[in-house]
C-alpha cells in the first residue's frame, strides 16, 4: 500500500482506491467539524480527566450495549445521567473528533462474521484521535458470553490508514492468542468513518458510556452523512446491565440490534448484499432521513438500489402485462390456478476445527407462489421471503407447439442434473459444493425446451435478474438421453450441458460447507480480476433400478481473462447413491428425477451417501481444494413433508492449511 504524503499546512484525508491503496484527496476531504456541539448534552456534567478515566474505567474488557437515539430521546436521559456520570474533558473540550479506517479482506469476512452473529469475531481498525493528533491500531475481539476484549498499539499519524509488517504480525499474533488459530485472511483498508464523541464516566468507576454524533461513512467518492440529531450511545460495563442501561430501559429505550458503525457503513454505502441483522439500526437512520432531517446535499448515497426497484417493476410488468394479450383467441374457459408454498427449517451442529462455526437454526426457504394454466399458456411466479427476499421463478410459457415449449421470464439456467432437480426433490439437504459454486442460478431470458420421454433438448439466452443489477449476458444448452426405460422400473440417464457468459467485473468463486445455518465458506478465491467471460460445462449420468439410485456429475468453470492474465479452469463433481428402504421409486421425467410418493401410511424411508469434491486452485488462483463425505437419512412423512438428517465430514485445504469440521444437519421440509 502507498502512504499518503504529508503537506505543510494540514495533512489531507487519505482515500481508498479501487486497488485498496491509500491516496490523497485534498479536494474530497470529509471532515467532521463539530457543527452541532449540543451544549445541553455536556454543560451540566462534572469534568473528569483522561488520566482519571484510564484509572477508573478504561473498560478494555467489557460487555457492550448500543442504542440509536434521537435528540429528543437522549435529552430525556441526560438529566438522569448527570447524577451518575462525569464527562471526559481535555483542555476545556468535551467532544472530540475521531477518524477511523476499518480493515477487512476481499470477502468482507469481518463484516459477514458480524452479520451471521458468529461467537468468535474481531475487527481491526486504525483510529485517529484528531484533537490529540494521535493514532492507534485497535483490535476488538468478541468471545464467550458476548464479552468484548480490546487491544491496541500506537500507530504513526503520518501512516494513518496503512499497516506495516510489524503491525500485521501484531494482528496475527493477537488473533492467535485469542482464538488459538491463525488468521486466514489478508486485510486491507475497506471503509472510513468520521464521528464526534462525548465520553461519560460513572462516578463510582467501572462503567463508561460514549455518545457518537455527526457521523459520516466514506468509501472513495461515496459518503453517507447521518443527521447530527441522531446519536449512537454505547454503554460499556462488566455485565451489560450498568447504570446507563437501567436508566435507558426505565425510559423504555432499548438496545438496537445490529448497531455496529462499521457494518452500518458497509450496508449504507451498499457494499454488501446481506444486511438483515443490521436492519433495525439502518431503519432508524432511514427514518431520520425520511423525516427530512438529512439535507440532500449532505447525503450522497449511491443510486443502484433505486435503479433496482425501477428495473424490478419494469421487468415484472414486461413479463406479466403481456399475459392477457397472449390469451387472446383462446377459449374463454376458466384459468386453472394453483397455489405453491415451501418451508425449509434447518438446524446445524458443528464440530469446529480451524474456523469458528456457530450452531443454530435457519429458515432456509419460505416461498409462496402461483401457477396458472389456460389452454396452451402457462405462467408461474414464486417469491422467497427469507433474507432480503427475492423473486425465484417468474415466467410465461407457450406449450402449444409439437416441436417444443417457449418460455419468457426468469427461470433457472443450466447447471446439471442436481441443479435442474428442484430443492424439494433432491436427495440430500444441500446440493454438492461444485453445483453450488459453479451455477449461475436464475436469470431473465428466453428459453426453448423439447421434452420427450427418452430425451430432452433445451436452450436459453439470458441477461440479468428481476431484482438485481447483474446485466451479464449469456447463452446455454442442455441435452439428456434415457436409452433404457423398462416400464420406468429401470432408468439410465446420460446428459451434458454448457453455457457461455460475458462478464465485466471481478469474480469471486467460493464453496459452502453443504450446510447453510453458518454460511461459512472455507474455500474461496477472492477477487479474480480481468475476467471477461465464463464458460461452464458438465457431464451427468444416473442409473435407477427399483428403489436404488446412483448418480454422478463432473463440471468445470473456465474463466477467460484479458491479456496479461492466464485463463483459469476450476472443476468439481460428486458421486452419490440412495436406497428407498420401504420400496418406493423416484419418478423420472423431463431429464430429471422427481419426488417420492410414500406407499404406506407410516411414510417412506431412504438411506443415502455422497462423496463430493471441488478444486479452486489453478495458475495464480489459490482458492483451495476440498472434499466432503455425507451420510443421509430421509423420512418422507407424506408426499409433501419430509424430515432429513445429514452427517457431513468436511475436508478442506487452502494455502497449505487444513480445516476439517464435522456437521450434523437436519431439515424439516413442507412443500405443496
> The domain spanning residue 629 has which CATH number?
2.40.160.10
Indicate if 534 and 426 belong to the same structural domain. yes
Mean pLDDT of the chain: 83
Quick one: 551 and 611 in the same domain? yes
Is residue 76 assigned to a domain?
yes
Strand 604-618 to 592-593 pairing: unpaired
Is residue 513 located within the same domain as residue 618?
Answer: yes
The pLDDT tens digits for 507-562 are 889 999 999 998 888 999 988 888 999 999 999 999 999 999 999 999 999 999 98
Verify that 220 and 356 share a domain, yes or no. Answer: no
Same domain, 178 and 265: yes
The answer to whether 605 and 494 have CB atoms below 8 angstroms apart is no
Q: Among the residues of 304-369, which ranges form H helices?
A: 304-320, 323-326
CATH code of residue 203: 2.40.320.10
pLDDT in tens, 341-394: 999 999 999 998 988 888 889 999 999 999 999 889 999 999 999 877 888 999
Q: Are residues 249 and 351 in the same domain?
A: no
Which residue's entry shows cell 491500531? 137
Does 327 map to a domain?
no
Q: Which residues of 574-598 are buried (b: 16+ CB within 10 A; e: fewer)?
A: bbbbbbbebebbbebeebbbeebeb
**280 lies in the same domain as 425:** no
User: Among the three residues 270, 293, 316, which one is the final residue of a domain in this structure?
Assistant: 293
Q: Is the pLDDT of residue 76 over 90?
A: no
Inter-residue contact 349 to 518 (CB < 8 Å): no
From 271, 293, 315, the end of a domain falls on 293
Domain annotation covers residue 252: yes
Q: What is the pLDDT of residue 145?
A: 64
Instruction: Tell me what pLDDT residue 468 has.
Output: 63
- Domain co-membership, 280 together with 359: no
Asked whether residue 511 is domain-assigned, the answer is yes
**Residue 9, pLDDT score:** 32
CB atoms within 10 A of CB 200: 28
Domain edge (last residue) among 255, 270, 293? 293
Where is pLDDT greater, at 17 or 328? 328
Residue in the structure block whose three cell numbers are 453458518 = 518
Same domain, 640 and 571: yes
- pLDDT over 80 (residue 36): no
pLDDT given for residue 514 in this prediction:
95
- Do 350 and 288 share a structural domain? no
Average pLDDT on 397-420 reads 93
**The pLDDT value given to residue 469:** 57
Residues 135 and 227 in one domain: yes
Separation CA 552–CA 435 (nearest Å): 12
Counting the structural domains of the chain, the total is: 2
Tens digit of pLDDT for each residue in 144-171?
A: 666 788 899 999 999 998 999 999 999 9
Cα 371 to Cα 336, 341, 596: the distances in Å are 8, 11, 21
407 DSSP assignment: E
Those residues whose C-beta lies under 8 Å from the C-beta of residue 586, and which sit 6 or more positions away, are 425, 544, 549, 580, 593, 594, 595, 596
Question: Is residue 447, in this structure, part of any structural domain at all?
Answer: yes
Residues 255 and 359 in one domain: no
pLDDT in tens, 264-285: 888 888 777 766 666 667 766 6
335 in any annotated domain: no
Q: How confident is the model at residue 38 (pLDDT cuts 50, 70, 90)?
A: low
Q: Domain range holding 284? A: 43-293
Amino acid at each position: 500500500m502507498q502512504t499518503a504524503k504529508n503537506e505543510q499546512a494540514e495533512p489531507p484525508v487519505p482515500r481508498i482506491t479501487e486497488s485498496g491503496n491509500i491516496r490523497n484527496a485534498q479536494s474530497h476531504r470529509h471532515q467532521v467539524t463539530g457543527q452541532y456541539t449540543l451544549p445541553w448534552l455536556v454543560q451540566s456534567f462534572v469534568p473528569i480527566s483522561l488520566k482519571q478515566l484510564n484509572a477508573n474505567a478504561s473498560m478494555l474488557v467489557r460487555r457492550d450495549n448500543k442504542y440509536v437515539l434521537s435528540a429528543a430521546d437522549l435529552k430525556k436521559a441526560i438529566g438522569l445521567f448527570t447524577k451518575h456520570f462525569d464527562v471526559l474533558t481535555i483542555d476545556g473540550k468535551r467532544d472530540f473528533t475521531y477518524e477511523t479506517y476499518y480493515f477487512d479482506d476481499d470477502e468482507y469476512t469481518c463484516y459477514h462474521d458480524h452479520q451471521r452473529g458468529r461467537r468468535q469475531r474481531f475487527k481491526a481498525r486504525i483510529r485517529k484521535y484528531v484533537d490529540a493528533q494521535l493514532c492507534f491500531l485497535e483490535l476488538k475481539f468478541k468471545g464467550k458470553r458476548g464479552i468484548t476484549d480490546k487491544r491496541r498499539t500506537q500507530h504513526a499519524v503520518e501512516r494513518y490508514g496503512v499497516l506495516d509488517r510489524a503491525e500485521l504480525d501484531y494482528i496475527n499474533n493477537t488473533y492467535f492468542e485469542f482464538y488459538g488459530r491463525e488468521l486466514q485472511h489478508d486485510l486491507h483498508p475497506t471503509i472510513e468513518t468520521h464521528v464526534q464523541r462525548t465520553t461519560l464516566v460513572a462516578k463510582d468507576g467501572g462503567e463508561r458510556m460514549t455518545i457518537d454524533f455527526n457521523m459520516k461513512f466514506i468509501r472513495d467518492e461515496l459518503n453517507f452523512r447521518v443527521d447530527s440529531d441522531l446519536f449512537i450511545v454505547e454503554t460499556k460495563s462488566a455485565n451489560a446491565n450498568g447504570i446507563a442501561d437501567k436508566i435507558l430501559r426505565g425510559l423504555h429505550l432499548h438496545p438496537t440490534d445490529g448497531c455496529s458503525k462499521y457494518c452500518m457503513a458497509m450496508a449504507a454505502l451498499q457494499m454488501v448484499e446481506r444486511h438483515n441483522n443490521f436492519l433495525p439500526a439502518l431503519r432508524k437512520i432511514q427514518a431520520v432521513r425520511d423525516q427530512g432531517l438529512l439535507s440532500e446535499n449532505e447525503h450522497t448515497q449511491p443510486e443502484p438500489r433505486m435503479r433496482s426497484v425501477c428495473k424490478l417493476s419494469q421487468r415484472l410488468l414486461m413479463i406479466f402485462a403481456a399475459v392477457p394479450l397472449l390469451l387472446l383467441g383462446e377459449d374463454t374457459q376458466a384459468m386453472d390456478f394453483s397455489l405453491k408454498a415451501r418451508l425449509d427449517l434447518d438446524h446445524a451442529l458443528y464440530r469446529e476445527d480451524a474456523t469458528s462455526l456457530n450452531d443454530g437454526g435457519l429458515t432456509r426457504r419460505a416461498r409462496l407462489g402461483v401457477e396458472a394454466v389456460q389452454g396452451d399458456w402457462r405462467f408461474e411466479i414464486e417469491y422467497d421471503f427469507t433474507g432480503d427476499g427475492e423473486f425465484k421463478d417468474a415466467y410465461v410459457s407457450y406449450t402449444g407447439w409439437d416441436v417444443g415449449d417457449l418460455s419468457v421470464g426468469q427461470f433457472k439456467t443450466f447447471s446439471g442434473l442436481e441443479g435442474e432437480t428442484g430443492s424439494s426433490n433432491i436427495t440430500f439437504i444441500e446440493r454438492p459444493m461444485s453445483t453450488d459454486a459453479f451455477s449461475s442460478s436464475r436469470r431473465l431470458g428466453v428459453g426453448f425446451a423439447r421434452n420427450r420421454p427418452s430425451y430432452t433438448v433445451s436452450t436459453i439466452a439470458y441477461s440479468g435478474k428481476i431484482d438485481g443489477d447483474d446485466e451479464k449476458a449469456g447463452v446455454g444448452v442442455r441435452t439428456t438421453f434415457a436409452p433404457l426405460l423398462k416400464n420406468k422400473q429401470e432408468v439410465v440417464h446420460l446428459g451434458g450441458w454448457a453455457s457461455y457468459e460475458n462478464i465485466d467485473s471481478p469474480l469471486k468463486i467460493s464453496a459452502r460447507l453443504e450446510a447453510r445455518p453458518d454460511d461459512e465458506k472455507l474455500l474461496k478465491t477472492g477477487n479474480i480480476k480481468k475476467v471477461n467471460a465464463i464458460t461452464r460445462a458438465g457431464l451427468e449420468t444416473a442409473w435407477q433400478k427399483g428403489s436404488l439410485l446412483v448418480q454422478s456429475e463432473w463440471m468445470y468453470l473456465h474463466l477467460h481473462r484479458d491479456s496479461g492474465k492466464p485463463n483459469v479452469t476450476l472443476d468439481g463433481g460428486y458421486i452419490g447413491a440412495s436406497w428407498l428402504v420401504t420400496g418406493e421409486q423416484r419418478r423420472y421425467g423431463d431429464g430429471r428425477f422427481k419426488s417420492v410418493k410414500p406407499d404406506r401410511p407410516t411414510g417412506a424411508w431412504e438411506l443415502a451417501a455422497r462423496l463430493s469434491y471441488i478444486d479452486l486452485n489453478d495458475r495464480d488462483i489459490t482458492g483451495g481444494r476440498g472434499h466432503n463425505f455425507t451420510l443421509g437419512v430421509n423420512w418422507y412423512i407424506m408426499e409433501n413433508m419430509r424430515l432429513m438428517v445429514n452427517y457431513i465430514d468436511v475436508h478442506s485445504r487452502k494455502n497449505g492449511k487444513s480445516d476439517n469440521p464435522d456437521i450434523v444437519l437436519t431439515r424439516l421440509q413442507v412443500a405443496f
